[in-house]
Chains A and B, each alone.
Chain A
Amino acid sequence: MSEIRYSKDHEYVRIEGDIAVIGISHYAQEQLGDVVFVELPGVGDTVAQGKEAAVVESVKAASEVFAPVSGEVVEVNGALEGTPATVNEDAEGAGWFLKVRLTNPAELDGLMSAAAYEDFLKTIS
Chain B
Amino acid sequence: MTDQTVPSLRTALHDAHVALGARMVPFAGYDMPVQYPDGILAEHNWTRTHAGLFDVSHMGQALLIGASHAAVAAALETLIPADILNLKLGQQRYSQLLTDEGGIIDDLMVTRPLDPGLDGTLFLVVNAARKQVDYAHLRARLPATVRLVPKDELALIALQGPDAAAVLAPHAPEAGELGFMGATSATLDGVPCHISRSGYTGEDGFEISVASTAVEKVWSHLLSDSRVKPIGLGARDSLRLEAGLCLYGHDIDTTTSPIEARLAWSIQKRRRQEGSFPGAARIQRELAEGAARVRVGLKPEGRAPAREGAEIVHDGAVVGIVTSGGFGPSFGGPLAMGYVPAALAEVGTVVQLMVRGKPLPATICHVPFVAPRYARNS
- Per a CB cutoff under 8 Å, which of A36, A60, A62 touches B234? A60
Tell me the minimal C-beta distance from A4 to chain B in angstroms: 25
Binds A, one of B35-43, B124-132, B141-149, B221-229: B35-43
- Expressed in whole angstroms, the Cα–Cα distance for A28 and B334 within the complex equals 22
For residue A113, give the distance in angstroms from its CB to the closest CB of chain B: 28
Query: Does B327 contact A57, Cβ atoms closer than 8 Å?
Result: yes
Is the Cβ of A33 less than 8 Å from the Cβ of B234?
A: yes
CA distance in complex: A61, B238 (Å): 12
Complex contacts, B327 vs chain A, CB 8 Å: 36-37, 57, 59
- Is the CB–CB distance between A36 and B39 below 8 Å? no
Mask: chain B, 324-363; 1 = CB below 8 Å from A; 0 = not? 0011010000100000000000000000000010000000
List the A residue with the shortest CB-CB distance to B235: A59
With a cutoff of 8 Å between Cβ atoms, the chain B residues found around residue A33 in the complex are 35, 39-41, 234
Chain A's closest residue to B234 (CB) is A60
Find chain B residues with CB under 8 A from A60 CB: 34, 40, 234, 237, 326
Contacts of A61 in B (CB 8 A): 307
Cβ contacts under 8 Å, A37 to chain B: 303-305, 327, 334
Whether the Cβ atoms of A81 and B238 lie closer than 8 Å is no
Q: What CA separation (Å) do A124 and B124 show in the bound complex?
A: 42
A74 within 8 A of B: no
Residues A55 and B356 in contact in the complex (CB < 8 Å), given A37-B304, A37-B305: yes
Check if A34 sits within 8 Å of B40, measured CB to CB. yes
**In the complex, are the beta carbons of A36 and B305 less than 8 A apart?**
yes
Q: Give min CB distance, B362 to chain A, whole Å.
A: 14
Query: A62 and B307: CB pair below 8 A?
Result: yes
Asked whether A39 is an interface residue with its Cβ less than 8 Å from the other chain, the reply is yes
Within 8 A of B (CB), among A2-53: 33-34, 36-37, 39
Please give, as numbers and ranges, the residues of chain B lying within 8 Å of A36 by CB-CB distance. 41, 303, 305, 327, 334
In the assembly, what is the distance between CA of A60 and CA of B305, in Å? Answer: 10
B305–A62 touching, CB < 8 Å: yes
- Inter-chain contact A57/B40, CB cutoff 8 Å: no
| Complex interface: chain A residues within 8 A of B238 (CB) | 59
A64 CB, min distance to chain B CBs, angstroms: 9
Task: Please tell me if the beta carbons of A59 and B304 are within 8 angstroms of each other in the complex.
Answer: no
Most chain A beta-carbon neighbours within 10 Å: one of B35, B41, B44, B334? B41
CB distance from A87 to the nearest CB of B (A): 13
Most buried by B among A36, A37, A57, A58: A36
- Smallest CB separation, B232 vs chain A (Å): 10
Most buried by B among A39, A58, A59: A59
Interface bits B232-244 vs A (CB < 8 Å: 1, else 0): 0010011000000
Extra A-B contacts (13), CB below 8 Å, given A57-B304, A59-B329:
A33-B39, A33-B40, A36-B41, A36-B303, A36-B327, A37-B304, A37-B305, A57-B305, A59-B40, A59-B44, A59-B234, A61-B307, A62-B305
28 CB contacts below 8 A, A to B, read: A33-B40, A33-B41, A33-B234, A34-B41, A34-B42, A36-B41, A36-B303, A37-B304, A37-B327, A37-B334, A39-B304, A39-B356, A57-B305, A57-B327, A59-B40, A59-B41, A59-B44, A59-B234, A59-B238, A59-B326, A59-B327, A59-B329, A60-B40, A60-B237, A60-B326, A62-B356, A81-B303, A84-B303
For the complex of A and B, list the 6 residue pairs with the smallest distance between their C-beta atoms, beginning with the closest: A34-B41, A36-B327, A59-B40, A37-B303, A59-B327, A34-B39
